[in-house]
Structure 1
Amino acid sequence: MKNDRILLEVNLTTLAEREVYRVSDDWVGYGTWVANSDCSKLVGIEIAKSDWTPLNDWQIFHDFFHKGPHCRLLRVDLRSGESQVIHEEKIWLGHPIYRPFDDHTVAFCHEGPHDLVDARMWLVNEDGSHVRKVKAHAPGESCTHEFWVPDGSALIYVSYLKGQQGRTIYRFDPESGVNEALMTMPACSHLMSNFDGTLLVGDGSGTPVDVKDTGGYSIDNDPWLYVFNVAEKRYFRVARHDTSWATVANSRQVTHPHPSFTPDDSAILFSSDKDGKPAIYIAKLPAHPSMLSA
C-alpha cells in the first residue's frame, strides 16, 4: 500500500508495478493488508479520512483509540480490483487476516491500548455474517499479536496479566471455539509459528508501550529471541536481537523484531536496529540447543 492510498502489485522479474486498487478519497488505507492462501484476494482496513490522524508515535496511538474512528474491513479481488465491505464499525479496527486455506473466515482486532479494548480478537465470515469474539478478557488481562498457524489449524495469541512478568501462549480452535493455554513463556512481544504450529518463535521485550497503565504492566527488558517447542513445553534462546524498540522516521514498528521461521525451520528472520539503523537479520538455530522449562 503506497501512501495509504494505492495498492500496487510488483512483478518480481521485471519490477514493473500495476495498480490493483485505489482507496477512495473519503477513506485512508490503514495497517497491514493480508492475502488469502492462493493470493487471489486480500483483506484490509480503511479509516474515514475525517477521523484519520497519522499514527507517528505511541502517544498518538493512545489518543486515537478514544476517538472511536469510523473503520471498515473490506476484501479486494487482486485480479479485478473490485472491493466489498465485510464489516464496518465506529471503533478502531485492525490486523485483518484470512484463515489459511479457508477464505470463509477472517480474523480482525479491536485496536488500541491492550488494557482498554473490550476484547481484542474477533472473527467474521467473509460475507459479513456471524461476527464472534475469540476470547472474553479476564480482569487485568491483555491479549496481543494474534496470528493464524500457516496450515490454518488454529489462531495463536499471547495473554498477559497486570502485575505479572510472564506471559501465556494460547491456541484458539476455530472449529470448536475452544481456547487452550499451551505454555508460559518469557515476555515476548511478537510470536510466529512454523507451518504446522509445532514450533513458535518470539522476541523478548520490555514494558509494553501499547497499554495505558505502563506501571501496572512493568516488566524487565529481555533482548533475546526464543524458540518454543509446544509439545515439550520447553524453549531455548537463539540469539540476541538487542533492538531499541524506538520509533524511527515516524514508523512505530520498524525496529520491532517480528521474528519468523525460514521455510525449512533452520533459521529465524528478524529486524533490529542494534547496529544503528533498522535492518533485517538471519540467525541460525543451534544444532544442540540448551532447553529451558516453561
Structure 2
Amino acid sequence: MPASPLTRLTRLALALALATSGAVAPAAPAAAPAGAAPASWLDTTTGQRIVRVDDSPGVYALYFNYNPFTPQGDLMIYLTPEGIRVADTKTWQTRLVLKAGVDRLLFAGPKSRSAYYTTRATNVDDGGPSTVWAVDLDSGKTRRIAELPGGRVMAINADETLLAGVWETSPPPPEIARQGRRDPVTGSPAYAGVDKDGKPLSFAAAKGQWMAARLAARVPMEMYSVTIATGERKTIHRATDWLNHLKFSPTDPALLMFCHEGPWHEVDRIWTIRTDGSQLTKIHTRTMAGEIAGHEFWGRDGQTVWYDLQTPRGGVTWLTGRNLVTGEQWRYEVARDQASYHFMQSPDGQMFSGDGGNAGKWISLLKPVLRERPVPGLITPGKLESIRVADLSRHDYTLEPNQHFTPDGKWLVYRSNLEGRPVIYAVELPPR
C-alpha cells in the first residue's frame, strides 16, 4: 500500500499543538503510560467524569457528522501520525489498527467492522488523485476500494454499498486555488487580502473574501458515487455551484444530502438528491435578507434534516428540523450561551448536544421543549434547556470540538486544546 502525507487536518492539529504549547493547562492527571487505563477525573464545574482518550501529538478525531463508531458501538476510530487507532468505548483503552501513512480518515462502516480511508502520493496536492481503502478493525487486513481522479469521498450509505464524493473537474483560477490550498507543514490555508483602502484583512475577513471569490468563480464540479464492491464510479450531479458536505440518510441508502458552499447569506445551502441523480430538492428557502442556514445533519430517523438557522445572521438563532416525509417543522430557539459550532442528536432522538462557542464554552446536553401545541402545516416553536457536562472555558475555538454521542448514548466524545494541545476526550453523561 503506498505511503502518503498526513491528512491536512492532522497537520493542522499538530500545528495547533505546537502553537499553543506554552498555554497554561487546567489541573488534570498526567498522561497514562502505554497500555494503562487512560487518565480520568471529575470536571470541577459540572461534576461529570472526563476521560483523556488520547493526547498524542497530531491526534485527529472525525468531523461531527462523520460516523466514528462500529455498528456494535464497541470501538471508535481516530487518526494519529502513526496511523489509524481505535478506542474501546467501555474502557477507553486504545490500540493501533493500521500503521501507515493515511491521507484522510473517512468514517467507520455502518454494517461492517471497517474503517474507510484514503492514501495519496507524496507529490500530489490535497484534492488530487487518491486511493480509497478499507481496513478491518479486528484483523487489520486492508482492501483497495477504488482509484479516484480527484476530490474527496465524504459519505457512505446506510447499507454500505456506496460511497459518495465531489471533485472539481476544472481547476479554480490560480489565485483562488493558491489561497485554498493548505500548507503541508502547518495545515493552514493561505487566506490573505486587503480592504477597499488597501489595508490587510484579518484572517477571518480574508477567508470570507476568498469564499465569495470561490463561489463567484463558478468552478465546474461533479458529485459521484463509488460502488464499494467493484470500485465503479458514476456521476450523480454536475454543477458550477460549489458542492460540499455530502451525507447519506442513515436509513435510506439512495438519499443523499449536500450543500451549496459559500458565504451562507448568499447561497441556498441545503439540498437532497437521489443517487440516480433524480429528485434534486432544496430543503430550506431563505425568506429574509441576511438569513443563514448551515451545519446541516441528519436526524436519527433518517427522515429529518436538522440545521443551524439565523434570522438574520447574528440575530435570532434556531436549531431547526424539517421532516422530509411528513413536512413537519420545528424551530428551537438557541440562547446566546447555547450557541454552538455544531449540534448533534442523541441516539434515542430525545436530546441534542452542543459544543459551545465563545459566548458559552461548554459541551452540553440540550433538551428540546415545545412552546406551543403542534398545528398541521405550521412550524412548531420551542426552546432548549441546557445540561452542561464539560467545562471548555480554556478552549480556543480555532479547534472545533466536533462532539459525538457514543451509540449507547452514555458518553460524548470531543476534542479540545484546553490543556494546551489537541486532545480527544470523553465525558460521561448523567443518567436520564
Same fold (TM > 0.5): yes
Which one-letter code corresponds to 2:345 in the other structure? S
Which one-letter code corresponds to 1:264 in the other structure? D
SS at structure 1 position matched to 2:264: coil
SS at structure 2 position matched to 1:103: coil
Which one-letter code corresponds to 1:54 in the other structure? R
Q: Choose the corresponding residue for 1:244, options 393, 396, 399.
A: 396
Matches within 5 A, 1:23-172: 23-24=148-149, 28-30=150-152, 33-48=154-169, 50-51=171-172, 53-54=180-181, 56-57=188-189, 59=207, 60-117=210-267, 119-139=268-288, 140-162=290-312, 164=314, 166-172=316-322
How far 1:256 sits from its partner (Å)? 0.6
Equivalent in the alignment of 2:364: 226
Structure 1 pair 65/278, CA: closer, same or farther in 2 (3 Å)?
A: farther
For 1:47 and 1:195, the matched residues in 2 are separated by 35
Residues 168-211 of structure 1 deviation map (CA, whole Å, 9 limit, x = unaligned): 111111113443213434211101111242111011124xxxxx
Q: Choose the corresponding residue for 1:22, options 147, 153, 166.
A: 147
RMSD of equivalent CA atoms? 2.2
TM-score of the superposed pair, with normalisation by structure 2 = 0.56
Q: Choose the corresponding residue for 1:193, options 318, 339, 345.
A: 345
Q: Are the equivalent residues in 2 in contact too, given 1:106–1:123 (CA < 8 A)?
A: yes
For 1:71 and 1:179, the matched residues in 2 are separated by 31
Residues 132-156 of structure 1 deviation map (CA, whole Å, 9 limit, x = unaligned): 1101113221111111113313111
SS at structure 2 position matched to 1:130: coil
For 1:281 and 1:165, the matched residues in 2 are separated by 32
Q: Choose the corresponding residue for 2:356, options 204, 220, 237.
A: 204
Higher relative contact order (CA 8 A, sep 6+): 2
SS at structure 1 position matched to 2:171: coil
Residues 189-242 of structure 1 deviation map (CA, whole Å, 9 limit, x = unaligned): 101111242111011124xxxxxxxxxxxxxx3211121112564222111234
Structure 1 pair 144/16, CA: closer, same or farther in 2 (3 Å)?
A: same
For 1:166 and 1:223, the matched residues in 2 are separated by 19
For 1:243 and 1:10, the matched residues in 2 are separated by 33
Matches within 5 A, 1:2-21: 2-3=119-120, 4=127, 5-21=130-146
Whichever of the two has the greater Rg, that structure is: 2
Q: Are the equivalent residues in 2 in contact too, given 1:199–1:230 (CA < 8 A)?
A: yes
The alignment of Structure 1 onto Structure 2 pairs a total of residues equal to 261
1:257 aligns with 2:401: yes
For 1:164 and 1:89, the matched residues in 2 are separated by 30
Q: Gaps spanning 5+ residues in structure 2: where?
A: 1-117, 121-126, 183-187, 190-203, 371-383
Q: Gaps spanning 5+ residues in structure 1: where?
A: 207-220, 247-254, 289-294
SS at structure 2 position matched to 1:102: coil
Q: Are the equivalent residues in 1 in contact too, given 2:166–2:244 (CA < 8 A)?
A: yes
For 1:179 and 1:68, the matched residues in 2 are separated by 32
For 1:149 and 1:197, the matched residues in 2 are separated by 7
1:284 aligns with 2:284: no
Q: Are the equivalent residues in 2 in contact too, given 1:151–1:196 (CA < 8 A)?
A: no
1:235 aligns with 2:357: no
Higher alpha-carbon deviation: 68-77 or 163-172: 163-172
Q: Choose the corresponding residue for 2:414, options 252, 255, 270.
A: 270
SS at structure 2 position matched to 1:91: coil
